Chains A and B, each alone.
Chain A
């Protein structure tokens, strides 16, 4: 076993797939940043709100006024440098830090694919993605055609984890036996050409989509791994992600996944891509550079000197990735209801959940009270996200308590009248209205002030 492992970690493979992955990832991230910026979202998500929802333990990370633009600029620049493979190690570290910082500024915007980007860029810090076909190669006048096999496999492993956990999360009675939430979402997409008016409201179609989505997620890593099924798998990847792109407003994620899965292809394919890229560079009369490329000494194998350290870090990293999605099992209540352990677990598109909150500020001495107009403090998007997520509700209750305290109100108690509907069920009261939220502290303990869910969702 040990020798097997040892020999595995000594195996090398062609460096082209990782180089293509680096270019693809860098460019997609650059486009993402530009898109985010051009839609004015830096302003609406990070500068306009008067209050930001923080992740537990990261309350110190906040938008930095107009410097937030600088942060996005750094992030975009780092993505470009990653694509070019110039000062790669520094660039990918800068990208990981700036991107993660952006995501930690306000959890209202949490998306699984942002989390995916964060941890993928973390992983890439430890990979020699600039060994081949990079500006770094030109600078050091050395190109490595071979890299350790585990470096490429680690990306495949991360992608497989994402897909498999996304598939496992779909093994629940709402998804499989009620076709929820697709049954709510699909009919409203009636304005999609061709299939909009014919399929979207069909009961069988909702079930077909639910089941095939689940099967797709669970099977796709394996179909991609085996050479015989790989092309077919990639066709599925393209169909699936383009379809989700058409149906749902999920931004860049489908394209990122499509590009990422190319890593499963063999080096011949990637060498062809690089050949094409070289031709384009020649056409763009970058002859000076390509001239110097010929002077690059082609070394055989890239040797990672700190392989032992890196491998230990990655073992810890992947252990966390594999364990984290199961943390929900430590909580007694229905996961979809309380969302304790919901995030960072590849639970994608599983819930149509909406809530309504009406906060009441009470003076415990005089019993006088008033209601809060949420729009005075939150953007519509923040209010929507806050209305059904307990950690948001608690954080906002504290913000309100502190705000009114600073205005001179005394003996403040904060209560909430909150109703939440999940996957087409009638709404029910969500938070115990008698609990003074201002007295509660955020923690990883089960939140006993969330009222029990009046139904049952079976499954993982």
Chain B
């Protein structure tokens, strides 16, 4: 009898195996959704073009910086400021890709990866002033006071005793120190971006696309987590929540907004970041408007159209709410914080949608802590 049962079992498995052989699985990974296509679309049409463009904009910024170093005029400083804003806007499109080399360039246990070297604000004026005075610092060994926010202070901020931002580089005792520091911050941004871009283009892209497994090391799992983290931390908390005082018992921090020294661009940058997050969700190419395989198509594939609708209308609501704010978030927080807090609530309402509904539908692990289940 046992033999018959075993025979039956083998037969069942054989039938099951044959009956499904008509699917074909060229590129189709498992659940029928083509993960390779999704990862390829992200790498080829979004991630690499964005890092490339950042490289272009950082080079332009470097040219403006060199012009300014040659001739410290207000005109040249303004040109540098414009180049800085262009690069900063592109930065918003790469910030969420804290994966591969971008993650590895930060060798500490800190979870912000390369963001730590590009966009952590506020910077410490005292520290930077000190660096300019002493000339002793090592940007590779610290996790602060560099990247776009450091530039923001250098080219827009006014040092103690000065009348204008320009004074830092002209009349200030440590003028040459500030100049050197600015140049060093610039070189570091350029070299980090080159390092990351080269890695993507030479080795990491294939690795990224081929890691289709559903483990903690699978690319999809990682990038989906990066998207959630970027929304929650870089976008929601850093740009609005923290300065508006939602984590600090009503104590507001108007000086902790993005691009605080420039002042009137915090809304521009927030909207750019929102666009980047939305583009990622719908798989829209960085250079163009075509959308491709993405979180959205994956959800649609799994018949979770209701989740897609909810997330997209929330994106729209967030955009409307941010548009209702003034250009300078610092001013808004000081004079109109109620509306900033309302905006925060709208931004917040997205979190359960991506962290609970989307994650559950796509069934990827959200915490990277290993444990047994039942």
The chain A residues found within 8 Å of chain B, CB to CB, are: 39, 41, 44-45, 109, 111-113, 184-185, 187-191, 194-202, 205, 228, 231-232, 235, 239, 248-253, 348-349, 352, 354-356, 358, 361, 363, 366, 368-373, 379-381, 383-384, 409, 417, 419-421, 424, 426-427
Contacts and interface: CB of A to CB of B under 8 A. Distances in A.
B363 A188 contact: yes
A358 B351 contact: yes
A381 B366 CA distance: 9
B338 interface: no
A197 B361 contact: no
Nearest to A231: B2
Given A368-B250, A380-B368, A200 B31 contact: yes
Interface in B315-374: 348, 351-353, 355-357, 359-364, 366-374
B248 interface: yes
Interface string B240-272: 010001111110000000000000000000000
A185 B363 contact: yes
Interface stretch (B13-21, B145-153, B163-171, B279-287): B13-21
B369 A187 contact: no
Given A361-B249, A381-B367, A420-B356, 11 more contacts: A41-B370, A187-B302, A191-B212, A194-B17, A195-B17, A200-B31, A253-B374, A348-B374, A356-B351, A372-B247, A381-B369
Contact of B366 (A250, A366, A384): A384
A277 to B, nearest CB: 26
Nearest to A186: B31
A409 B302 CA distance: 47
Contacts of B361: 184, 424
B360 A424 contact: yes
B5 interface: yes
A239 B12 CA distance: 14
Given A235-B6, A373-B247, A427-B357, A381 B371 contact: yes
A251 B371 CA distance: 8
Contacts of A370: 245-250
B214 interface: yes
Contacts of B20: 198-199, 202
B355 A197 contact: no
Contact of A201 (B6, B32, B250, B356): B32
A199 B249 CA distance: 52
A354 B356 contact: yes
A370 B248 CA distance: 5
B25 A379 contact: no
Interface centre among B215, B249, B366, B370 (most CB of A within 10 A): B249
B359 A354 contact: yes
B29 interface: yes
B1 interface: yes
A410 to B, nearest CB: 11
Interface of B: 1-2, 5-6, 9, 16-17, 20-21, 23, 25, 28-32, 212-215, 218, 241, 245-250, 302, 306-307, 310, 348, 351-353, 355-357, 359-364, 366-374
B214 A190 contact: yes
A39 B370 CA distance: 9
A421 B360 contact: yes
Nearest to B304: A424
A113 B372 CA distance: 10
A23 B230 CA distance: 51
B215 A191 contact: yes
A201 B372 CA distance: 24
B373 A249 contact: yes
B374 A232 contact: no
Contact of A111 (B32, B246, B373): B373
A197 B29 contact: yes
13 contacts: A111-B373, A191-B30, A196-B30, A197-B25, A197-B28, A202-B20, A250-B373, A356-B351, A358-B351, A366-B250, A370-B247, A372-B247, A419-B352
A184 B31 CA distance: 10
Contacts of B28: 197
Nearest to A350: B374
Contact of B249 (A113, A194, A355, A363): A363
A427 B249 contact: no
Contacts of A421: 356-357, 360
A355 to B, nearest CB: 6
B249 A187 contact: no
Nearest to A388: B356
Nearest to B248: A370
B214 A427 contact: no
A294 to B, nearest CB: 38
B368 A419 contact: no
A253 to B, nearest CB: 8
Contact of A355 (B21, B302, B306, B356): B356
B6 A356 contact: no
Contact of A198 (B23, B371, B373, B374): B23
B77 to A, nearest CB: 38
A41 B2 contact: no
A419 B356 contact: yes
B30 A426 contact: no
A459 B33 CA distance: 33
Interface centre among B214, B310, B356, B362 (most CB of A within 10 A): B356
A245 to B, nearest CB: 11
A111 B355 contact: no
A370 B353 CA distance: 22
Contacts of A354: 356, 359-360, 366
Contact of A187 (B23, B30, B360): B30
B5 A235 contact: yes
A113 B359 CA distance: 27
A185 B1 CA distance: 35
B295 to A, nearest CB: 14
Nearest to A347: B374
A197 B360 contact: no
B35 to A, nearest CB: 8
Nearest to B306: A426
B246 A191 contact: no
Contacts of B250: 366, 368-370
Contacts of B362: 188
Contacts of A380: 366-369
Contact of A427 (B5, B23, B246, B353): B353
Interface centre among A190, A239, A253 (most CB of B within 10 A): A190
Contacts of B23: 198
Nearest to B353: A427
A68 to B, nearest CB: 17
Contacts of A358: 348, 351
Q: Which 9 A-B pairs have the closest CB atoms?
A: A190-B30, A380-B367, A187-B31, A251-B372, A419-B352, A368-B250, A201-B31, A188-B363, A191-B213
B372 A232 contact: no
Given A188-B214, A354-B359, A369-B249, A201 B367 contact: no
Contact of B241 (A44, A196, A371): A371
B174 to A, nearest CB: 37
Contacts of B213: 191
B31 A356 contact: no
B363 A184 contact: yes
